[in-house]
A = this chain, B = another copy of it.
Amino acid sequence: MLKHYYATGTCALASHITLEEVGAAYTTERLDFKNNQQNSADYLAVNPKGRVPALVTDRGVLTETPAMLAFIAQSFPQAKLAPFDDAFAFAQAQAFNSYLCSTVHVAHAHKMRGARWATDDASFADMKRMIPKTVGASFALIERDMLRGPWVMGDTYTICDPYLFTLAQWLEGDSVDLAILPKVIDHRNRMSERPAVKKVLAEERS
């Protein structure tokens, strides 16, 4: 049985939705970030990085959202969530998810997690002022060049979709101008209607 560690409002929503989409048998454990539970000894024994998500499998623990999403897709091939038999198409999906983790999520993280990269309050304030611009610019690139519609990769729903949906949850909080992102918002609305998404959001918000 798979076990998925998550915290509310984090990127772990992407793997959580994907587990639900494929019909996996899994349990969840919610960490309380307000009490720094991600850095408890118990959790660091699961994931030494002190981050979510983490997925406990019968062969060991997996971390890092792009890797976990591809793992879930490959483990449940009947769901057809990634084109493993087409190296180029699979690489395009992976490139999209890699951009989300290394550029979009990183831009967002400078709002609340500046202490990862700096020490001074003035630096944190400087970083926070940039958030609408930096997060907005990365979503503008997605809007213009990456999101094909109706799903990220075109007609087929893939592991890119729950991940984009997850990061798009943060747009209002990051004060990004939604008017420049009609395709992203349309995608977010379409995702919100999926039964797996509704179920997972209900659990995470309960």
Contacts and interface: CB of A to CB of B under 8 A. Distances in A.
Interface of A: 48-49, 57, 59-60, 62-68, 70-71, 74-75, 84, 87-88, 90-92, 94-95, 98-99, 101-103, 105-107, 110, 116-120, 122-123, 126-127, 129-130, 134, 141, 144-145
Which 6 A-B residue pairs are closest in the complex by CB-CB distance? A71-B91, A67-B94, A64-B98, A67-B95, A74-B87, A64-B95
Nearest to A107: B117
A126 B122 CA distance: 10
Nearest to A89: B59
A117 B127 contact: yes
Given A49-B141, A59-B88, A106-B106, A129 B122 contact: no
A106 B71 CA distance: 24
Given A71-B90, A107-B117, A95 B63 contact: yes
